[in-house]
Structure 1
Amino acid sequence: MAADRAHSGAHPGERDLALSWSARVSLTPRILAVNIFALALLAGGFFYLDSYRSRILDSRLAQASREARLMADALAAAPPQHRDKLVLTFARDTGTRVRLYDSRGKVIADTREMGSRNAILVDPDKEGWQQDAARFLDAVIDTVVGAQRAPLFRERRGDRGLEWPDVQAARDPAITHASVWRAPDRTPVITAAASYGDGTVFTVNNARDVTQTVRVERFRLSVVLAIVSAVSILLSLFLARTIVRPLRRLARAAVRVRLGRAREVVVPRLPSRRDEIGLLARALSDMSGALRHRIDATEAFAADVTHELKNPLASLRSAVDSIANVRDPELQGQLIAVIRDDVHRLDRLITDISEASRLDAQLSRAKFEPVDAGTMIDALLVQRRERGVERRVRIRFDRPSAEPLLVLGEGSRLERVFENLIDNALSFSPDGGLITIAARKDGGELEVRVEDEGPGVPENERESIFRRFHSVRPHDEAFGKHSGLGLAIARTIVEGHGGQIMVESREDRLSGARFVVRLPLAGEV
């Protein structure tokens, strides 16, 4: 049941790639099995050899019938005193043993008795082991291919000619009959009979050449099959080596990554391979690297969170411990103010930490839609002015035209980017300073600039200010007003939208910082 539930919950793509019984078998035997199956098709040539032998025997049967008919016609036309000489001539020319039977089945002429040694059957017990092996292979292959087994050839006595099926059938003058028998050494014996006048001519031929021809073809096929089998097995092992071994290395590395046994698990990249396995190796290597980077970032983030939370907690603990021992109302008020500030700072830290920790996962699931960045910035500035801008700082938005500045993204997240940049510019701006926001299309990107008139960002700090909890604050700003996560959150959101954020000096050489955000335009994604 557990397996069924796991399968039913599988991804549709996994179900498309799922295998049944073969999924339990390693790739190496599967590759070998596929190639062996192809070899089995080639081995089907032995069935063709059986058909080839059958066609040869059919041809020999027809030939034996014609020869018996011709002999019978010649004997019928020849004078009786010439029959013995004629029969010997037939035996010599056709290579057969010829016998003549009378109407009662008694032999009246036999070329064997006349000195002709045609159609002598071989005693298999007197042959070498090679012939025994050949006959054994004949029997095995005949059994495998289901070849029909001919009856064993046995000689009849001279007065029992009618026991031969061919002689019995040939008593009808219109019939010429031929049969195939099996000699003791498994070679075919072909007999044929035809009637003439008051007698029957009966021929016997041990067609050993048929067996020899089939064995030669079988040997050639076996050699081809052996060579192809060896090459196929070697290629299968080579294929298994080039596929299975790197996959096993990758699997072992992936297991080590999963178990976390080693801090730096090296996943082989297989740079020399340009096939799918090489792509898989490099993808797994990149994935493990990204995973290590994510783990390192998570550990560093956890350490930073612990450090950042300890400061307000220590201050809060000290104020709480002290307030019970202080009787002066003025000092109590100061301690209460400290407690209030620490609580606000903790609340701000926890809120920003919660958002920063969930930001990557939320962006990966977010559904991006076309967003007009120009309208969004206008709305942010209207809200900011309605709340009142502190220290008489002015904010100006330079928009080239009323055309939409569409980017693909999540509106609330992009709004947080520009809000954080405006908050950052406000905190660094002097009293009565000017913050300038400019937006323009640059090729396939939207470029938004946020400039202030503050002290600017030192060149050696322009990358570190985007790290979590790193902040370069004005000297006169009260401690704990910012969590140090605003710019880090802004960078994460911008990069999650396929864009870039950076800080640079102002081109007009005035003091202050310029933050530049680049986002792909909606029509260019």
Structure 2
Amino acid sequence: MSQNLDTGVETGLLPRERRRFSLRLRVMMAILAAAVAPSLLVFGWSQLDRNVQGHMWGRVRDVAEAALPALDDPHELEQLAREYKVRLRVVDAQGSTLFDADADAPGDPGSHVEAFFLGAKDAPTLREFDEQLGPMLARADVVEAKRSPDGKYVGCDFLPLVFCQAIYVTPRDGVPRIVHVQQSSNRAVLEVYTLRAHLFRLSLVVVLPMALALAFYMGSRVVRPIDTLRRQALAKATAESPDAKLLPERRDEVGVLADAFNVLLMALEKKRADNEAFVADLVHEMKNPLAAVRAAADTLSEGVDAPRAERLSRVLRDSTSKLDRLVTQFLELARAEAGMPNEERSDVDLTALVRGLVERLRDDPRHAQVNFALKGEAANASPALVRGVAHRLDALFGELLENAASFAGQGGQVVLALAVTSTEVIVAIRDSGPGIAPEDRAKVFTRFFTTRGRQRGTGLGLSLVKAVAEAHGGRVAVLTPESGATFEVRLPRLK
């Protein structure tokens, strides 16, 4: 099997380099990312929570600094407390409260998110916590601020709630006063840090090893059936007689993909068989006129009299004319089956087109005894617009009308009916001829199939009709009337 893979690379069936990130690696990375995502999320959230105390620390310090020059202005102190959402107090040397404004607002969007995932915290409010600390002058933080050379203390704590406070001791008229600023937060900083530590240990010991094992297993499970299909495809591509059948090992999405590939391969195989049959038919059709040309050339090389030279000349003209007609129709058919690329399309009025064709056939001496009739929109001369290549559509309906007139014969009738729906233009051409045998109806659009004999047709006309109709987004079908033959062409209507 490795030999087939090497052959595939050498012959260009496979690229020499794989993509930088293979499917197996991407599956493994996705599983590992899902496994470590909770830890990464908690770690990132803890980095956000780390800034909570830093912001509160700076805020209480700034408020305390701003409050010092405004100790005798209660209105300005009130504005400071409300602007910064803090609790601001001023206490005298005896511990009496001179000013107290509580604008502390501990809730924020982050705290609501943490409460949803971690549960609501059972912690006291800032005022309840402060009442538990006892008299202001006896508190250790106040004592530390008094002992400090600059009379300041700024600090934060986690328990029993997240809060920061600034204590500034400043003399006022020779009497010390204490400026006390506090702010709290409902953020679960300690819980997030604790959860981060637990998740890190759990991920390192349990989740990561399991994720690695699962990632390796799932990567192999996903890629292995695809590798199997790849090896089968390469083996068939390098076999002497490749067949269009892949055998998936599982009946899951990969199995469905293999079925889709099998449908594609069978369609390609059918196309290849059709092309081979087409080439064989073309060669067969060309053999007779080529044989006649060769025989005439051989005879001329031996020398002939004038009457015989005239006959040979006529044979050469007929044979070359048939070859020219055959090659021309073959090229037209190939272009039509390719979708008529690079051919300019325009708005075409089918009513005017088919009426012009009918008038032309009425003036043709070959069909002088054939009665042509128009029905529906064609009889009323109502416009029926489609988007297409005008000369191709002219050839399509011209071929159908010529066939109908030929089979109707002298004294026969050809009826052309045109109808317009909301989405289509429908043209039906019926003749009063002998009709089409039931066993031949499925073959009338097959290349080189003809019921008129080799001398009167190449068998490519109806194949070309079908190809042109499909190249315009339409379709053609042979119907089964009570008498004669009816061909129906449906083309998308131009809105």
TM-score interval w.r.t. the shorter chain? 0.5 to 0.7
**What is the CA–CA distance in structure 1 between the aligned matches of 2:492 and 2:32, rounded to whole Å?**
55
Answer yes or no: is 1:450 the counterpart of 2:429: yes
State yes or no: 1:517 paired with 2:489.
yes
Q: Which moved more, 1:460-469 or 1:320-329?
A: 320-329
Q: 1:513 to 1:261 in 2, by over 3 A?
A: same
> CA 1:234–1:386 in 2, change beyond 3 Å: closer, same or farther?
farther
What is the CA-CA distance between 1:493 and the residue it aligns to? Answer: 1.9
- Indicate how the Cα distance of structure 1 residues 514 and 326 shifts in structure 2: closer, same or farther if over 3 A, else same: farther
Distance across 2 between alignment mates of 1:24 and 1:413: 50
Partners of 2:279 and 2:386 in 1: CA distance: 33
Number of matched pairs: 337
Query: Aligned partners of 1:246, 1:365: CA distance in 2, in Å?
Result: 42
Separation in 2, partners of 1:256, 1:369: 48
Higher alpha-carbon Rg: 1
Instruction: Give the whole-Å Cα distance in 1 for the aligned partners of 2:367 and 2:23.
Output: 70
* 1:313 matches 2:285: no
Match of 1:289, as an amino acid? Answer: M
**Aligned residue identity for 2:307:** E
Structure 1 unaligned segments of length 5 or more: list them. 1-20, 55-172, 176-213
Match of 1:415 in 2: 394
Question: Quick one: which of 262, 265, 269 aligns to 1:285?
Answer: 262
- 1:269–1:371: structure 2 CA closer, same or farther, 3 Å change rule? farther
Q: 1:500 aligns with which of 448, 460, 475?
A: 475
Deviation at 1:453, TM superposition (A): 2.7
Give the residue type in structure 2 aligned to 1:305. Answer: L
SS at match of 2:429: strand
Instruction: Measure, in 2, the Cα distance between the counterparts of 1:378 and 1:306.
Output: 38
Alpha-carbon distance, 1:412 to partner: 2.8
Specify the SS of the correspondent of 2:26: helix
Tell me which of 264, 276, 279 is aligned to 2:243: 264
Amino acid at match of 1:407: V
Letter in 1 for 2:21: V
Deviates more, 1:429-438 or 1:298-307: 429-438
Matched, 1:426 2:413: no
Aligned-residue offset at 1:44 = 6.1
**Partners of 2:390 and 2:248 in 1: how far apart?**
39
Match of 1:29 in 2: 25
Question: In the alignment, which residue of structure 1 is the partner of 2:324?
Answer: 347
Per the alignment, do residues 379 and 36 of structure 1 end up closer, same or farther by CA in structure 2, a change over 3 Å counting? same
Structure 2 vs 1, CA of residues 379 and 225 (structure 1 numbering), >3 Å: closer, same or farther? farther
Q: Structure 2: how far apart are the matches of 1:42 and 1:350?
A: 71
Q: 1:278 to 1:446 in 2, by over 3 A?
A: farther
Amino acid at match of 2:431: D
Q: Secondary structure at the match of 1:284?
A: helix
Query: Residue 138 of structure 1 corresponds to which residue in structure 2?
Result: none
Contact 1:270 1:281 in 2 (8 A): no
The match for 2:416 is 437
Normalised by the length of structure 2, the TM-score is 0.57
For the 8 Å contact 1:396–1:437, the answer to whether it is kept is: yes
Contact 2:415 2:430 in 1 (8 A): yes
Change (3 A) 1:392 1:320: farther
- 2:349 aligned to 372, 391, 395, which one? 372
Matched, 1:358 2:335: yes
**Which residue identity lines up with residue 468 of structure 2 in the other structure?**
I
Distance 1:267 1:327, change over 3 A: same
Report the AA paired with residue 397 of structure 2: F
Please state how far the C-alpha of 1:248 moved relative to its aligned partner: 3.0
Q: Which amino acid aligns with 2:488?
A: V
For residues 2-13 of structure 1, what are the structure 2 equivalents within 5 Å?
Answer: none
Q: CA deviation at 1:467?
A: 0.7
Report the Cα distance in structure 2 between the residues aligned to 1:45 and 1:399, rounded to whole angstroms: 73
Kindly provide the amino acid, as one letter, of the partner of residue 477 in structure 2: M
Name the residue aligned to 1:302. 279
Q: In 2, Cα distance between the equivalents of 1:353 and 1:279?
A: 38
1:445-504: CA deviations, max 9, x gaps?
332121223222111001112111111016xxxx53321100111112223333332223
Which residue in the other structure is 1:485 paired with?
Answer: 460
Tell me if structure 1 keeps the 8 A contact 2:29–2:215.
no
SS at match of 1:266: coil
Structure 2: 5+ residue stretches without partners: 1-16, 51-146, 150-192
Alpha-carbon distance in 2 for matches of 1:22, 1:322:
65
Equivalent position SS for 1:289: helix
Greater RCO (CA < 8 Å, at least 6 residues apart): 2
Superposition TM-score, scaled by structure 1 size? 0.54
Q: 1:224 to 1:438 in 2, by over 3 A?
A: same
Aligned equivalents of 2:318, 2:42: Cα separation in 1: 95
Give, as a single letter, the amino acid of the residue that structure 1 aligns with 2:490.
R
Given that 1:257 and 1:288 are in contact with CA atoms closer than 8 Å, whether structure 2 keeps it comes out as no
SS, match of residue 229 in structure 1: helix
CA deviation string 1:234-262 (max 9, x = no partner): 54345434542344344445545765754
Look up the SS of the partner of 2:244 in the other structure. Answer: coil
Write the distance in 2 (CA, Å) between the matches of 1:378 and 1:271: 60
Bigger mean CA offset, 297-306 vs 239-248: 239-248
